[in-house]
Structure 1
Amino acid sequence: MTLTAERPSVQAEEQKLLKDRRYRRKGSGDFSKPTLGSLILRYVLLLFVLVLVIGPFVWQLSTSFKGAGDDLYTFPPNLIPVDPTLENYTKVTDIVPVYTYAWHSLLVAVGSVITNVILSVLGGYALACMRFRGKMIALGILVSTMLLPGEVTITSNLLTINSLGLANTLWGVYLPGAIGAMNVLLIATACRMIPKDVLDAATVDGATTWQRIRHIVWPNVRGMASVVAIFTFIGAWDDYLWPLMVLTNPNNYTLTVGMAYLNGNFSPDPRLIAAGTMVALIPIIVLFSIMQRYFFRGVQEGAVKG
């Protein structure tokens, strides 16, 4: 009786498995094995997005190497220079002190990265893992600062920098971006992924706050910290409006302000503008190439280490 009762159920399971296999062969529910048409559509869309994203960069790179014998306005555009030359880069450095401006931008960007990472880790740990009065008020203030565009507070920031005597200095460019509310919230989100039992166990074992941050918190949030570092560097490197308002002496210009000066005075020659643009892009490309694995790991990181 037991064998007779089990046989129909086994046959039903086999029929169900056979039906699932037939269903998957049709391509209706198996997303890991797309049909030929959907596969072609995916690659066409990827190629279209790639052209939109990489196209301007390739065009600027090609223009920066084109000599006087190249026609920049032919159609279809010629991406391979007929008369390749490096003279555009030397002309840019002769007209504008590009490397000095790049050094200024690098100082501001690196300083912003250091303070944003350190202060964001400390602030994120406090918001996510510590108990204190006014915690929700502090969180609400941080979120409210993100609701206002930067143009709203730029006047008050400028008045503050002038009152501190930091106008026309790189310190005045750096200070308003020394810490960002979004970065603190990102690190706080990463800190909430750490089990509370791990921190409590460390406290019971006699670990101080600094030891908990160093040995428990930091190994688990450094992926997100790399995300903060990359976005902070790019934001500080590409910032234009704030350095333009703070800096009045051309000797203190950052690279973006210097490139705007190049664009305004030598716009008839797009080759020089393209060469200056490439000089401004190279550090960002190098930084992202080095830290891309940490960037993508930080986006999806959630496991506890150490």
Structure 2
Amino acid sequence: MKHASNRWNSVGMYALLSAIAVVMLIPLVWLISTALKSPTEDLFQFPPRLLPAQPTLENFVNVWQTNPFGRYLFNSTLIAVLTVGLNLLFCALAAYPLARLQFRGREVIFTAIVTTIMIPFQIVMIPLYVLAVQLGLRNTYLGVIFPAIASAFGIFLLRQAFQGVPKELEEAARIDGCSELGLWWYVMLPSIRPALVTLAIFVFIGSWSDFLWPLIVLDRPEYYTLPLGVATLAGTFSLDWRAIAAGSVISIAPILLFFIVMQRYIVPTESGSGVKG
């Protein structure tokens, strides 16, 4: 009886999760369907048609040819990749001593860092803009990147991961004469690879989809990211929802691809399995 009950509980859980997944996918399917519909199809007919009657790529071609989406794609990719790399580097450097080293004020520093998570970006937006202008970072890639090169969430996540690494690994590395930086690079980082990948996914998605800060710090179209490029479609095509949908699909496709590629690395691993030889 207990086995049957557990089985039905599992079936119910999978059914619930499947229903939630379907509900979450409906907007994405509708967006892709709108992007594939021909100009002769009514987007607002009732009852609504989920699948296009005559699928066409004309909307994607028009958007790509009329707007410099290749440049927007390059800008977003460069900014997202640099943001991920710098965020992982600085967060890992900050989290390691907060997790493994003993020094006065460690907990106070960590508490102060975590507390900043509760501060909305809109509060620090104006000081950041003033600082960016004073540093000459307006209309530059670095100007878009620098507010996100480290994050309190990233430091918190990696600190928790560093604390889970067995002390035996650390002691063995020290006995072998490994320096503090070598211990961080060759032992600690490989041991927390799932946490690093998780943080990379969060940072990539946040950087790729960020609209507010690039809108503030950029006013030259050659530096626009994809979200800003999609926003320009509303004026360029006078609210042509097919074109806007096509631009949105182009914008979100790299996020989905990045997540699909990286999710295989988010798996529990033995702490010692990732140590480099």
Normalised to the residue count of structure 2, the TM-score between the two structures is: 0.92
How big is each residue's C-alpha offset from its partner over 1:109-137, in whole Å with a ceiling of 9 and x where there is no partner? 00011011112222111111112233223
Root mean square deviation, CA, Å: 1.9
2:239 to 268, 272, 285: 268
* Greater C-alpha radius of gyration: 1
1:74 corresponds in structure 2 to 45
How big is each residue's C-alpha offset from its partner over 1:122-180, in whole Å with a ceiling of 9 and x where there is no partner? 21111111122332232122112112111111111001000001112121111111111
1:219 corresponds in structure 2 to 190
How big is each residue's C-alpha offset from its partner over 1:187-228, in whole Å with a ceiling of 9 and x where there is no partner? 110000112232123213311112212221012111100001
Mapping 1:85-164, distance limit 5 Å: 85-164=56-135
1:168 corresponds in structure 2 to 139
Q: Does 1:24 align with 2:8?
A: no
Q: Unaligned regions of 5+ residues in structure 2, if any? A: none
Mapping 1:44-59, distance limit 5 Å: 44-59=15-30
1:14 corresponds in structure 2 to none
How big is each residue's C-alpha offset from its partner over 1:48-93, in whole Å with a ceiling of 9 and x where there is no partner? 3122211111111111111122221123322332222111011112
Mapping 1:181-220, distance limit 5 Å: 181-220=152-191
Asked whether the equivalents of residues 267 and 273 of structure 1 are also in contact (C-alpha less than 8 Å), the reply is no
Write the letter of the residue equivalent to 1:86.
L
* Distance in 2 separating the partners of 1:84 and 1:205: 64
Write the letter of the residue equivalent to 1:24.
K
Asked whether the equivalents of residues 193 and 302 of structure 1 are also in contact (C-alpha less than 8 Å), the reply is no
Normalised to the residue count of structure 1, the TM-score between the two structures is: 0.84
Q: Unaligned regions of 5+ residues in structure 1, if any? A: 1-22
Asked whether the equivalents of residues 69 and 82 of structure 1 are also in contact (C-alpha less than 8 Å), the reply is no
* Residue 287 of structure 1, CA deviation: 0.5
* Residue 24 of structure 1, CA deviation: 2.5
Write the letter of the residue equivalent to 1:66.
K
* Distance in 1 separating the partners of 2:13 and 2:88: 38
2:8 to 16, 28, 34: 34
* Distance in 2 separating the partners of 1:42 and 1:200: 43
Greater alpha carbon shift after TM alignment, 197-206 vs 142-151: 197-206
CA change 1:42–1:193 in 2 (3 A) is: closer
* Distance in 2 separating the partners of 1:235 and 1:59: 23
Identity, in percent, stands at 36
CA change 1:274–1:212 in 2 (3 A) is: same
